[in-house]
Homo-oligomer: A and B are copies of this chain.
Amino acid sequence: MITDGSAGRVNRQITLASRPKGLPAVSNFKMVESPIPSLAVGDVLVRTTFVSVDPYLRPAMNNSALLPTGACVPADAVGRVVTSRHALFRPGEFVQGMFGWQDYAAAPWYVLRKLDPRHAPVSTALGILGASGLTAYFGLFETARAVAAETVVVSAAAGAVGSAAAQLAKLAGCRVIGLAGSDDKVRYLIDELGLDAAFNYKGEHEWQPQLGAVSPFGIDVYFDNVGGRVSDIIFPYLNTGARVAVCGQISEYNRESPSAGPRWLNVILEKRAKVQGFMVTDFAARYAEALHNLSTWLRAGWLTYRETIEDGLENAPRAFIGMLEGKNIGKQLVKVE
């Protein structure tokens, strides 16, 4: 018999109880208890430490194929190995994987990424050195192909992906304008991330009139996490040959059908612009290269990050809803243990 720290314990899971309409409520989720999963040969049992809370979960909740009701909410997570049936993984080691919103997960060894806590705090494997940083990296450098001296606008620029994209654009020598939903976030963008300009698009003041002044050469790259009215304001400023990397559309996720706004195809034509949606997994073959760079730049102090941490697995739904409302700065995490 294998003895491990899980003996006699149960696995708490946050499941989707019902499909949200509009902004999710805590009542759309339900905590259930289940046995600790058993391991096949090659499997590893992980006790989750941090689980990730990501905007893309909201559209996934409309899709019964991606997220059936009653199923544990899927999520990127880090945790410690409890029991291992693979020689390369030992109890106590930190690993990252899609463990979901639960206390314990069993995963085959080959989907795990080993983390070295001496290298960087393990929570960064969910943020700047994980999906958020990778999304920013490939969206900015591949989908948008931002180059030095170009003007880059990032929406939701104080979020996990946005703050990484904005910093990477600065690092690449771009002029960077951040859009965020509070005055606090705007201060963060200017004072801590050193952006060239930032606007609060939920504030009282119209920001469109100032946009031209802070982007006198027009906008070459728009890294969009928000969509809707915010993007409507950006599109008329796009330069010839502009690239729009469509990374997220948080303003649209709670809707049942597309909102209405100006049609931009004629601007896309006139400017010969490229508007392209992407997912970080489109670039999976190049994660190692990007993580090497991101790690180097983080240790050199060229990149910084923030985390907003909610305590307790039971509070994951609340953290998720708060993130959809824009309450977080940087990466929203839930500390499970």
Contact assessment for A278 and B272 in the assembled complex, using a CB-CB cutoff below 8 Å = yes
Contact assessment for A258 and B266 in the assembled complex, using a CB-CB cutoff below 8 Å = yes
Contact assessment for B272 and A274 in the assembled complex, using a CB-CB cutoff below 8 Å = no
Q: Which residues of B contact A278 (CB under 8 A)?
A: 272
The answer to whether A293 has its CB under 8 Å from any CB of chain B is no
Contact assessment for A258 and B267 in the assembled complex, using a CB-CB cutoff below 8 Å = yes
The answer to whether A277 has its CB under 8 Å from any CB of chain B is yes
Task: Give complex CA distance A249, B231 in Å.
Answer: 20
Q: Which residues of B contact A260 (CB under 8 A)?
A: 260-263
Task: Give complex CA distance A282, B272 in Å.
Answer: 9
Contact assessment for A263 and B59 in the assembled complex, using a CB-CB cutoff below 8 Å = no
Contact assessment for A277 and B282 in the assembled complex, using a CB-CB cutoff below 8 Å = no
Contact assessment for B271 and A274 in the assembled complex, using a CB-CB cutoff below 8 Å = no
The answer to whether A248 has its CB under 8 Å from any CB of chain B is yes
Closest residue of chain B to A242 (Cβ to Cβ) is B277
Tally of contact residues, A, Cβ under 8 A: 36
The answer to whether A326 has its CB under 8 Å from any CB of chain B is no
Contact assessment for B263 and A258 in the assembled complex, using a CB-CB cutoff below 8 Å = yes
Task: Give complex CA distance A271, B249 in Å.
Answer: 13
Contact assessment for A272 and B261 in the assembled complex, using a CB-CB cutoff below 8 Å = no
Task: Give complex CA distance A227, B268 in Å.
Answer: 11
Q: Which residues of B contact A273 (CB under 8 A)?
A: 276-277
A228 CB contact (under 8 Å) in B247, B259, B263, B269: B263
Given contacts A248-B269, A268-B277, contact A259 B262 (CB under 8 A): yes
Closest residue of chain B to A267 (Cβ to Cβ) is B258
Task: Give complex CA distance A264, B266 in Å.
Answer: 14
A interface list, Cβ under 8 A from B: 59, 224, 227-228, 231-232, 246-249, 252-253, 257-279, 282
Please name 11 further chain A to chain B contacts, defined as beta carbons within 8 Å, in addition to the given A258-B264, A265-B277, A268-B276, sorted by A numbering. A231-B265, A232-B263, A246-B269, A248-B269, A258-B267, A260-B260, A265-B275, A269-B277, A273-B276, A274-B276, A275-B276
11 residue pairs of the A-B complex, CB under 8 angstroms, read A59-B270, A246-B265, A247-B269, A249-B266, A252-B266, A253-B266, A257-B262, A258-B267, A260-B262, A271-B277, A274-B276
